[in-house]
Amino acid sequence: MPHLTVRVLEPQLQDNETALIAALTDAVADVYGEWARDVVVIHLDGVPAGRWGLRGKPVDEAPPAITFGIREAAFTRPDSGELVAKLVRTVTDAVADVLGARWRDTITVELVATPAGRTAIGGVIVDG
63 and 25 Cβ atoms separated by less than 8 Å: no
What are the angstrom distances between the C-alpha of 69 and each of 48, 49, 95, 101? Answer: 24, 26, 17, 24
Nearest alpha carbon to residue 84 among 76, 93, 73, 75: 75
pTM to 2 decimal places:
0.88
Q: Indicate the pLDDT class of residue 126, thresholds 50, 70 and 90.
A: confident
Q: Indicate the pLDDT class of residue 70, thresholds 50, 70 and 90.
A: confident
